Amino acid sequence: MPSAAVTMAGRCTRVSLRQIDALLTSLMLPVLLMLMFVYLFGGAIETGTKYVTYVVPGVILLCAGFGSATTAVNVSQDMSRGIVDRFRSMDIGGPALLAGHVAASVVRNAASTVLVFAVALAIGFRPSAGLLDWLAVAGVLLAFMLAISWLAAAIGLVARSPEAANGFTFFVMFLPYASSAFVPVDTMPSWIQGFAQHQPVTPVTEAVRGLLLGTGADVWPALAWCGGILVLSIAASSVLFRRRTV
């Protein structure tokens, strides 16, 4: 029922824009991390370019990933209160409810990503991307937000409490560190390299970085990862919703 999903998306967007503390965290955290990496650690990290140029795609992903992961908390909150019973008694099922949360998550994260980009430009980030590259960046980032948000929605259904669901946000926040987001993977110990090369954040970071810096980008691995996560998460969440509510 698409109109129910649209109403639900409006509800979730409105509510999440009013969660001021969560909103500020998901904005301040990436910005502070960016400043920290650029001004404190950046001088010591050798990436072949200015460090701010290297690190911005990673920070953007951290921002999008962390913000999307908060969907787990929001879904879990709905599941643990009476409101899900009311929705179900109105024949508003899991798909509409979860799609509403995911849509709100994408709207929220698109906005915070734009803000992080603005800060990055202010501290000296100079991308060389053309219009098409920017569109491609937007596409890859949207795919990433969509994938992480649906995954988070599925996690929110598994978690027994919003506090437990919150654990997922930390997991997602950690992923960029073990990827090419902040430091080149070939500087890591070899046993971590295997993981770092084969987790979704690395191909997505590489795609975004390549597009922004005009160094040539292979977007397909990134899109394949996002598509795979998306399909699995949607399937899992529909099963989980039914199991959780019977």
Partner 1 sequence: MAYAIRSTAIEANGLRKAYGDLSVLDGIDLEVPRGSVFALLGPNGAGKTTTVRILATLIRPDGGEARVGGHDVVAERHAVRRTISLTGQYAAVDELQTGEENLRMMGRLAGLSGSRARVRARELLARFDLIDAGRRRVATYSGGMRRRLDLAVGLVGELSVIFLDEPTTGLDPRSRQAMWDVVGDLVGAGVTVFLTTQYLEEADRLADRIAVIDQGRVVAEGTAAELKRRVAEQRLELVLTDARAFEDAARALGDRALTADRGERAIGVATDGSAADVRALLDEIDPGRRSVERFSVHSATLDDVFMALTEKETAHA
Residue ranges binding partner 1 (CB under 8 A): 3-4, 7-8, 10-11, 14-15, 18-19, 81-83, 85-92, 245-246
Q: Which of 150, 173, 172, 160 is nearest to 232 (CA)?
A: 150
* Least distance to partner 1, CB of residue 81, Å: 7
* Least distance to partner 1, CB of residue 15, Å: 5
Q: Which is nearer to partner 1, 23 or 110 (CB)?
A: 23
Residue that has been written with the tokens 């301040």 in this structure: 28
Q: Which is nearer to partner 1, 70 or 179 (CB)?
A: 70
* Least distance to partner 1, CB of residue 145, Å: 22
Q: Which two tokens stand for residue 159?
A: 């978690």
Q: Which is nearer to partner 1, 20 or 40 (CB)?
A: 20
* Least distance to partner 1, CB of residue 229, Å: 29
Q: Which is nearer to partner 1, 14 or 126 (CB)?
A: 14
Between CA 2 and CA 16, with CA 225 as vertex, the angle to 5 degrees is 45
Q: Which is nearer to partner 1, 11 or 129 (CB)?
A: 11
* Least distance to partner 1, CB of residue 100, Å: 10
Q: Write the DSSP assignment of 42-86 as a string of letters.
A: GGG---SS-HHHHHHHHHHHHHHHHHHHHHHHHHHHHHHSTHHHH
Q: Is 241 exposed, middle or buried (0-12, 13-18, 19+ CB in 10 A)?
A: buried
CA separation for the pair 223, 212 (Å, rounded): 16
Q: Which is nearer to partner 1, 89 or 190 (CB)?
A: 89
* Least distance to partner 1, CB of residue 5, Å: 10
First CA to last CA distance, the chain: 21
> How many residues are recorded in the chain?
246
